[in-house]
Structure 1
Amino acid sequence: MTVSSLAFRLLILATFIVPSIAQAINPADCASSVHLLLLRGEGTGDDLNVLDTIQNLVLEQIPGATSLGVPYQHGDSDKQFAAYNGSVLLQQYIAGYATTCPDSKIAVLGYSLGAVATMNAICGVSSLLITHAVEALDFKYASNVIAVVAYGDETYVPLQSWNVGNCTIGAGIYPRLDPGACEPFASSLKSYCDYGDYQCCSILPDDANAAHHTYFTKYNQDVVAFIQSRLG
């Protein structure tokens, strides 16, 4: 094997490696209520983008809450790799935080590409159109992860108990073939998808995809109430 061909193979291999990045949490800084992990949609820039709205509501209305925008590769031109990267990092963050802060609870919210990463991290990959496999989150974390919310998830399928919104017959661009894999976390799940969002409700008229951008104004307060209810 030539040096150039070896270098090329190593480059290809490196493309699929996601570094292990555990949350560096001092036990003294563990949330006294809930720790919110946020996965934004695709694009360059900071790790929150429009998700700063839901972050602010949680921090204002749930005493003792903390939050973090998960720094996955949301600006990568390869959306499938970006979603894979987000799924793996999210699982690592959940595991790390649950180990350091076992008495704190975790809530996750993903939007658009971040919703795909979130749902794949919880349920595993089961769409034939998504090529980077991810196993479902270990059920041992079910007592830590008390809320998982997706806005405009491209793996959305209808008729699931955790679905919210008025998309009742549409499906996402990458429909989940095994939604049953989500069942261990069903009580913690909410997946919001509305008519007019062609990314999660793709067989219906797209309405210029306007619905994909209205979840924050329509549902943020509902999400806060859901997290509060799950905290008991």
Structure 2
Amino acid sequence: VHFVLARGTTESYPGTPYSLASLVAQNTTLRTNYENIIYPAVSEDTSDSYFIGRAAVGAQMTAYARRCPQSQIVVLSYSQGALIVGDALAGGGGNSTLGKATPPLIPQDVAKRTIVFYGNPRHVQQQPYDFGTAGVKLVQGKYPRLPSQIRTFNERYSEITGDWCNVGDGVCSPSEGADALSLHMAYAMDYDTFAANWVLDKINAVRFR
């Protein structure tokens, strides 16, 4: 199992996704390793961090899949990391901050076993892969996806994706009101145990309690 970790804005490597990767690794007999997506992880509003990160996801994941085609790739991402992962997979851009709409950067034949988003800026409401307190709420991320991007993502990845969003987190559910930083920073504590079991199911490993 190869974990691809995409950290959030201002986090140092490996960031929030590492605790989830560690929990999964500790509870499977499968061999595991990980790599970080290498990108600045500074504000996408005032820098080219998003564009660098999106390109890095496409390049790194494609290169690894070609190099190790038998590995199971598990992508774990948080905040801006979820933004760049989702946009590399489904196509990016589509607004004034993220630029013009672009096609996916990762070929469909690049095998991915599991995708986890925590605090996803492009969270889409009422999807079968939505988890967290926003799972049954009509909330959208601060950068709503274009309908064509939603279709592409769902056709390719809906069965292997888990998207965790807390209602009130100003990144994944800004339509709910004020930006609540504490909710945006609570994903590992709130959901790692559940998400780890979910990932273990996806990689056909033994669940833990």
TM-score by length of 2: 0.85
Structure 1 counterpart of 2:207: none
Structure 1 counterpart of 2:118: 151
Equivalent residues of 1:163, 1:193 under 8 A apart:
yes
Distance in 2, matches of 1:98 and 1:77, equals 27
Report how far residue 205 of structure 1 moved.
3.0
| 1:140 paired to 2:105 | no
Aligned-pair Cα RMSD in Å:
2.0
Structure possessing the higher relative contact order (Cα contacts under 8 Å, 6 or more residues apart): 2
Q: 1:47 corresponds to which letter in structure 2?
A: Y
Distance in 2, matches of 1:153 and 1:208, equals 14
Of 181, 184, 194, the match for 1:209: 181
TM-score by length of 1: 0.77
Structure 2 counterpart of 1:125: 92
Distance in 1, matches of 2:93 and 2:146, equals 5
Equivalent residues of 1:36, 1:66 under 8 A apart:
yes
Report how far residue 126 of structure 1 moved.
5.2
Distance in 1, matches of 2:167 and 2:39, equals 28
Q: Are residues 225 and 204 of structure 1, via their aligned partners in 2, closer, same or farther at CA, if it must alter by over 3 Å?
A: same
Distance in 1, matches of 2:200 and 2:121, equals 26
Distance in 2, matches of 1:105 and 1:221, equals 20
Equivalent residues of 2:19, 2:188 under 8 A apart:
yes
Distance in 2, matches of 1:198 and 1:170, equals 10
Distance in 2, matches of 1:205 and 1:133, equals 27
Structure 2 counterpart of 1:51: 17
Report how far residue 127 of structure 1 moved.
3.4
- Once the two structures are superposed, residues 106-141 of structure 1 have per-residue CA deviations (whole angstroms, 9 ceiling, x without a partner) of 011111111101111111115324206442232111
Report how far residue 49 of structure 1 moved.
2.6
The DSSP-based 3-state class of the residue aligned with 1:203 is helix
Paired residues in the alignment total 196
Distance in 1, matches of 2:188 and 2:100, equals 29
Q: 1:165 corresponds to which letter in structure 2?
A: G
Equivalent residues of 2:44, 2:50 under 8 A apart:
no
Q: 1:58 corresponds to which letter in structure 2?
A: V
The DSSP-based 3-state class of the residue aligned with 1:221 is helix
Distance in 2, matches of 1:120 and 1:171, equals 16
Q: Which residues of 2 match residues 1-232 of structure 1 at below 5 A?
A: 34-43=1-10, 46-63=12-29, 64-75=31-42, 81-125=48-92, 127-129=94-96, 130-131=98-99, 133-136=101-104, 137-141=106-110, 144-167=111-134, 168-178=137-147, 179-183=150-154, 184-206=156-178, 208-232=180-204
Distance in 1, matches of 2:164 and 2:126, equals 12
The DSSP-based 3-state class of the residue aligned with 1:170 is coil
Unaligned runs of 5+ in 2: 205-209
